[in-house]
Amino acid sequence: MSVKEDLGSLTQKLKPKLYWPNYLFFSLQTLARGVLASHVASGEALFHCIRDMQIRSGFPHPIKLARHTVHGLALFFDELLSPADVQIFFTSTLPQIARLALNLPILLQSQSLHLVADLKAAVNPSPPDTTLLLRLLRTQQAGMVLLRQELVASLLACSFLCLFPTEHRREEQLGRINFDKLFAGVYERGGKKKNENKLRCLLHYFDRVCNSMPQGTVSFERKVLPKEAINDAIWGSSGAPLCPITVLQEGCIEDDGRDCLQVDFANRLLGGGALGDGCVQEEIRFMINPELIAGMLFMPAMADNESIEIVGAERYSTHEGYGPTFCFKGDFHDLTLQDTWGRRQTRIIAIDALDLPGENQFHSMPMLRELKKAYCGFLDTSSMKGGQVAAVGGGGGGGQKSSVSQRHKKNQEHLSQAIFEASCGTGTSTSMRPIVGIATGNWGCGVFGGNLELKSLLQWLAASQAGRPYVLYFSFKNPQAKRLQEVADWILQERWCVGELWSILLEYGKQSQFHVNLFDWIMPQPGTQLCSSQHYHKAG
């Protein structure tokens, strides 16, 4: 089996004989020996090295590179970087990137051997289970991939050198994975500054891991909510209490929501434009936590009832700015503690909002879609009655281990029951209650054109129904979010439950025209105890 084969056949069953094609192996080996052997000491030389490996490596179809890749590499390495940084990159960092890529077959095999060994060493051993191994997690296929950070670094090294075949990715609903578009963006008009700084973040990541390879793991999980699990009627009858919500004008999710499940305002293709021209919330997070990029390799687009949870991605950089003003500011040492899997306890949930929904977003079906999407992300399936599996090749922990496939099977068996119990007002049981809150913000309200008032309340509903203890809402100083705290405090004071707030949103959506904004429509009219909806009544 060769690494040039498509991802599905490459990683579905990791057989012993994984190898690079001969010419590619020797090219990477030469690059790994350093500049005296490879003669790669400039951006243009690096481009020709990458192109030569692609053309002469025996790939069945040529890998397409973005039009201005050579110009972007030349500009970045020959003009934008300082001479000292250029020397460090070509004499030290690039050879180590090549070595990481060269070691990919070994690391893939090592990952499978460690998994089997750990399962055999379990207190109650079960048959070897490969459900954590690197593979394509297709849509409607709930499951998890657990990768060592060294393997993640190897995958990103291959992305940097543009080694991944691209011909089948569109068919599999997979996004961009090679770095060529990012290289080209440094040269192309309109993206120079932000793409330059995105590359600086990624080079800093390679500097860090090449000098001191982290030994933890990162998990990528596709969460699938049964399509029939939650419908309009069930939401309307829910008696689940609304959880506390705090609106923060200052701060950001990654800094001040560290102990929470942190929301990635995602594209349906995980990572969005991280390896292209994108530079908003999701793309920035993928630059400062580059290990997130690995998920773009094997996670196809999300369906309406899916989300992707990533646990353990380490942060390496600090930054400032947003969009065209984004700027790499330096090193970040992530002190987040690890769990028994070896994952840093940074939990990121990717949920994609409707794109440019217009006034249709207030209608029942679009609202239900967004509610189910957020609920799928916020529901904590790891605390269902299936137990937990201990670390696979990760740090300490000598506790009892259980088969991952059994855990997922049990989770699915109990998922519908748990959803039904919560939706009928019995709430989330103590044994299932998640211990972390939600850190979110203006999800789907930027380039996606969502209404902030509606999206904030839908996220609050989903978090409450999922049994989350609280929501931290980072407004990023958006003036439209100023009233959210006032509205939420009033609703909590009136002791509304999930079903009542959902019914009010449905009532608002029945209007033919929306002359009054949602918050004004919900709040009591001056001099009366009633809100605009004649169907409102006090809870209890």
Q: Is 255 a catalytic residue?
A: no
- The active-site residue, picked from 221, 264, 370, 500, is 264
- Catalytically annotated residue among 207, 254, 282, 500: 282
Are 462 and 375 in contact, with CB atoms under 8 Å apart? yes
486 as an active site residue: the answer is no
3-state secondary structure of 133: coil
Which listed residue (118, 129, 283, 291) is catalytic?
A: 283
Alpha helices in 289-363 (DSSP H): 295-298
The tokens describing 37, both together, are 């052997």
Q: How far is CA 414 from the centre of its chain?
A: 25
In sequence order, the 6+-apart residues with CB closer than 8 A to the CB of 520 are 532
Q: Spell out the SS3 assignment of 369-397.
A: HHHHHHHHHHCCHHHCCCCCCCCCCCCCC
Structure tokens at 80: 């934008």
Q: Is 306 a catalytic residue?
A: no
Q: Distances from the Cα of 290 to the Cαs of 164, 283, 295, 317, 343, in angstroms?
A: 17, 10, 10, 9, 15
Q: 271 with 175: CB under 8 angstroms?
A: yes
Name residues whose C-beta falls within 8 Å of residue 385's C-beta, 6 or more positions apart in sequence.
Answer: 410, 414, 431, 432
Cβ atoms of 216 and 146 within 8 Å: the answer is: no
Dist. CA 329–CA 287, nearest whole Å: 12
Q: Could you give the C-alpha distances from 294 to 25, 105, 178, 297, in angstroms and in order?
A: 22, 16, 11, 6
CA torsion angle 168 172 173 174 (round to 10): -60
Active site amino acids: 264, 282-283
